[in-house]
Structure 1
Amino acid sequence: MVIRFRCYHCQHLFGIGNEAAGQHLDCPSCGHTLHIPKQDGFAAPARTPHPARNKRILVACETLRQTPEPKAKPKHPSGRTSLKRAFQILSKVKPGELQPVVNLESKSLRATSSIREKIKTAAKNILLLLVVTSLGFYWGSWSGARNSVEPELPVVNEIKIPENSIKPATSPDSVTVQISGRIRYRTESGLFQPNAGAILLLLPESSQGGERIPTGSVEHADQEAMLNVLLTKVRALGGIIASTDSAGEYSVNLSEPGVYNAVLLSEKRNFNGPQVLDAEWAASLESYFTKPEDLLATRRIYVERIEVNEQTSQVFDIDLERS
């Protein structure tokens, strides 16, 4: 049988077996020691309080029982000083005998306040110096890292062509046209890179059928002897030759406007160009070169027909796509 009862302090409900009747237990809610009633419902009061949970209450009761000592009240003067008498005493005192009252406490407070202000100012200056130094250090590190990760273009052996060799003879009545531009090729990533070290020949269309250029002079243009042969043959055809720098840019001067065949000979064949010459290109190149099909062994070839008018300058760019 289960004995059910409540704590008479916090009304917590208990349910305990009848074998625990007449024993004592501590209430889990309020901590008071309770006596488990018998089956007849009678419960004797707890005989001993719980010492651990009632310790604070006992200390508070002990504190309340102590009466504080009465504070001593200041003694009032037995009689009041007459205001008229005070003026009489002050009138008898000479001005030189009056001494100013010096408040030593206020002086010490002002000195302490001045020291604190100096400490605060010094701390602010040190903090500002540390912040400026840190910013300078991080800025230098970031600039160095940025400069170090910039991609570098591959070094290409440029073909240096003498300036006096690429300019044909001009007459006083001739018009000089400056042709400049940029030559690029598309890489596997889809981006364009400068086509450095490429040879660009501007050959007039009217000069077809003349003495042709030997293919070997183009294949070995990095040799001085072959370069001189190439320059001589191009001048004989009335054309002009240029080479691109590391940025893929070139600039030449033409003495006569007209229709020209621009023949681009890239330095390397790994630009993924055509393996066989186009029929139209082959027909044009046979008028200028002895064996144009041999050029594909070491060069990528591109041919385009351009018209040069009498303007002072023209821009002619070439972008080689992947085939």
Structure 2
Amino acid sequence: MDNSMTPEPHLVPGYTGHCPENRDRVGKTYGRQTHTLLIDPCSNHAPELILAPIDAKPDNKDYPTQSELKILHDRKEFVDPVYQHPIIPGYAGFVPNMFKQTGKRYVAAATAGVAQHETLMQLYRCEKRTLRHRDLLESGRGLFEHKWNERLLPQSTYRAPLLPVTRICKGNKDEKCPPTTEKLCYSKFTTPHFLDDDDADKFIIKGYAAHIPMAMTRFGEPSKVLTHNALCSFSDYMYKKKRDSWCCGQDLTTPAIKCPPVGHFIIYHNNHGMHPTYAGHVPGHNYKFGRSFEKTTYHAKRWLEVHQDLTVLPEIAKLDLEY
């Protein structure tokens, strides 16, 4: 700073560049602090005031190279490209390998990223063509020419499937094992829905909060027995409905196929009435009075059978039938 033209050199507040040792000094304003640092001979100053000379020639890093431009030109002839040179700065879309380019302008960085991506794709396409050519030669449908590149192809000495050769060669005898009747070994990851019906572990433990199929209409039984019967009904029902297209984990050779218990899906029973806490609809319940809920809901479908041909309301018809 001996030949400085400014009598009191300092940096203007708002300057976003680098000032050596500025972040290690406190207690003064920005102007006074930078003035002290600029004239302090003990500070680590750069040898020049302007680090980048103005008359320097532009570096090749800021411009796409000829090889990169050739790769993009060949890519344009090969496919319908999305990225064409020059890629305009401000493009907000994805540019491959853009994050790997540092210290370059946007055009140079984008061109280099696309060129690297296309070089990798050319390598993959070459490997794919090589594998296809090798498979064609090994299958016997291709014409093998004794060229250097074809002689370097890794070839196998066998064909699939393997064929029996001479008796001298030893091989594994193909034994047909008869079907066993032993119990299948289930792992701890096997769901209880698809276990055998006679399996003691086919039940849902207490605290299971998910859906249990066909357990909604069951009540009056312990949790273990209720869930076991529900899962048995579910597996039998699914096994019957989708026998040909889907297996529930059971043996397809079992001849016995049980239908789902129809009694559990009946709402209105013929031998007893509804439960007093039942909040659903009961046919004819509004026209019955003087008896308990169980008596009035006994054989509720009988009311529908009697009044199915009526064209007026039941109170107008004045039917005197016992139902």
For the aligned pair, the TM-score class normalised by the smaller chain equals under 0.3
Higher-Rg structure is 1
TM-score of the superposed pair, with normalisation by structure 1: 0.20
